[in-house]
């Protein structure tokens, strides 16, 4: 998500939502509403850099403390942020609450530590999938989509999603790494820090130049 003003936010987010039942709808709507405000996205990016109080946020982005409090309330209720667990010695303002994201943030150095390994795994998965192409073609030919003139390429993103769900389920059973689809919450979020090139591209896009 990119701010549309000159103050372009520094993080993008991967968000995944899935309403698994009627009871999830208010949670998902609250989550989406929380991120549907440019001001709240700017606040979120500020506290991604370091835990901050409402007063610090207000001073830094130039809006009233009352307005910041309202935005923080929406973000807290949606589960997007939480109170930072800082000790008294870590607080500049001891009596005030400090806020931090309620999700992991992948810094540039973090991304580089994982990128090579993820690429290696991805190539191995691609090789494995290639070994199943003939069987997928046979199975697909028996579907109504094939009867209607579609081909395997058209529906592969759906099959890929099914593969990922099966992979996540197996990992959850074998290594305790759960799929977001089985999370207690019907959504999950991961923050990603921009490179300077990505940030410039985001600025150009936000200003209508891209």
DSSP string, the chain: ---SSSS--SEEEEEEE---SGGGHHHHHHHHHHTS-HHHHHHHHHHHHS-EEHHHHHHHHT--HHHHHHHHHHHHHTTSEEE----GGG-SSTTS-EEEESS-EE-HHHHHHHHHHHHHHHHHHHHHHHTTHHHHHHHHTTSHHHHTT--HHHHHHHHHHHHHHHHHHHHHHHHS---GGGSSSSEEEEEEEPPHHHHHHHHHHHTT--
Domain residue ranges of the chain, discontinuous segments joined by +: 11-103+184-206, 113-178
204/210 Cα distance (integer angstroms): 6
End-to-end CA distance of the chain: 15
Tens of each residue's pLDDT in the chain, 210 residues? 333 343 445 677 777 776 667 777 888 888 888 988 989 999 998 998 889 999 899 999 999 999 999 999 999 999 999 998 766 655 565 667 899 999 888 888 888 899 999 999 999 999 999 999 999 999 999 999 999 999 999 999 999 988 888 887 888 777 777 665 566 666 778 888 887 787 777 777 766 654
Cβ density class 71-89: b for 16+ within 10 Å, e for less: bbebbbebbbbeebeeeee
Query: pTM of the predicted model, to two decimals?
Result: 0.71
State the pLDDT at residue 165.
80
State the pLDDT at residue 9.
53
State the pLDDT at residue 188.
77
State the pLDDT at residue 13.
77
Provide Rg for the chain, Cα atoms.
Answer: 21
State the pLDDT at residue 14.
77
Topology (CATH level 3) of domain 11-103+184-206: Arc Repressor Mutant, subunit A (1.10.10)
């Amino acid at each position: 998500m990119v701010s549309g003003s000159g103050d372009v936010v520094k993080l993008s987010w991967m968000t995944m939502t899935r309403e698994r039942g009627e009871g999830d709808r208010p949670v998902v709507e609250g989550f989406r509403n929380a991120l549907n405000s440019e001001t709240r996205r700017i606040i979120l990016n500020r506290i991604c850099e370091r835990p901050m109080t409402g007063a610090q946020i207000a001073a830094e982005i130039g809006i009233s403390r009352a307005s910041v409090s309202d935005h923080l309330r929406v973000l807290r209720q949606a589960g997007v942020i939480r109170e930072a667990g800082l000790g008294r010695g870590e607080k500049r303002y001891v009596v005030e609450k400090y806020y931090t994201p309620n999700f992991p943030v992948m810094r540039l150095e973090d991304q580089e530590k994982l990128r090579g390994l993820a690429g290696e795994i991805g190539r191995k998965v691609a090789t494995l999938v290639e070994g199943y192409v003939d069987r997928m073609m046979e199975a697909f030919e028996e579907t109504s989509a094939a009867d209607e003139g579609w081909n395997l390429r058209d529906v592969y993103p759906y099959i890929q999603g099914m593969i990922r769900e099966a992979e996540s389920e197996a990992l959850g059973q074998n290594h305790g790494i759960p799929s977001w689809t089985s999370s207690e919450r019907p959504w999950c979020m991961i923050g990603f820090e921009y490179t300077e090139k990505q940030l410039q591209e985001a600025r150009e896009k936000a200003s209508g130049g891209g």
